[in-house]
C-alpha cells in the first residue's frame, strides 16, 4: 500500500525524524555522563534535553497527522507546524546548552534577560500553531 502525503506533511515528518535522531545522539551524551559521574547521573539539563526531545519527536508526528488532515492551504499548515517545531527545537537547544555549560539546575531560578519574552512567545506559538492545525482538521474532517 502506498500512502500519498502532501509535501508539507512530508516535511513535518522529516522534522520528526530529525528530532528523533537528535534524541538518540542526546541519549549517547546522557549515557556518557552517567558512566563517568560518581553518582552515575547525567546533568539535570542533559536529562531534560533528552526526555524533552523524545516527547517532542512524537509530538511532531502528531503535528504531521494534523497537517495531513487539515483543510487549510499548504502554507498555512506549514507555517503553523513550523512555528510549533521551531519552539520545540529551541527548547531542546536551551536545555542542551544548560547541560553543556552545567550552569544551573533550574533555568528559571535566575533567568537571563529575555527569558520571559521567550516563554510568552513559546506559549503563544505552540498553542496558537496547534490551534490552527486543529481548526483545519475540524473544518476538513468534521464539518
Domain boundaries, the chain: 7-142
Give CA–CA dist 101/44, Å, rounded. Answer: 11
SS (H, E, C) 94-119: HHHHHHHHCCCCCCCCCCCCCHHHHH
pLDDT at 141 over 90: yes
Residue with C-alpha cell 536545555?
95
- Dihedrals phi, psi of 109, to nearest 5 degrees: -65, -45
CATH number of 7-142: 1.20.120
The number of residues in the chain equals 143
Residues 45 and 96 sit within 8 Å (Cβ to Cβ): yes
pLDDT digits (tens, 9 = 90+) for 3-60: 899 999 999 999 999 999 999 999 999 999 999 999 999 999 999 999 999 999 999 9
Amino acid at each position: 500500500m502506498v500512502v500519498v502525503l502532501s509535501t508539507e506533511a512530508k516535511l513535518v515528518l522529516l522534522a520528526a525524524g530529525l528530532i528523533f535522531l537528535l534524541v538518540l545522539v542526546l541519549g549517547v551524551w546522557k549515557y556518557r555522563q552517567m558512566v563517568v559521574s560518581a553518582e552515575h547521573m547525567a546533568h539535570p539539563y542533559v536529562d531534560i534535553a533528552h526526555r524533552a526531545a523524545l516527547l517532542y519527536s512524537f509530538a511532531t508526528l502528531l503535528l504531521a497527522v494534523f497537517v495531513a488532515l487539515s483543510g487549510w492551504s499548504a502554507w498555512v499548515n506549514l507555517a503553523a507546524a513550523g512555528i510549533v517545531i521551531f519552539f520545540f527545537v529551541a527548547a531542546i537547544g536551551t536545555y542542551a546548552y544548560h547541560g553543556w555549560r552545567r550552569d544551573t539546575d533550574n533555568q528559571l531560578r535566575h533567568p537571563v534577560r529575555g527569558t520571559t519574552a521567550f516563554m510568552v512567545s513559546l506559549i503563544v506559538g505552540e498553542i496558537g500553531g496547534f490551534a490552527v492545525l486543529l481548526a483545519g482538521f475540524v473544518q476538513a474532517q468534521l464539518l
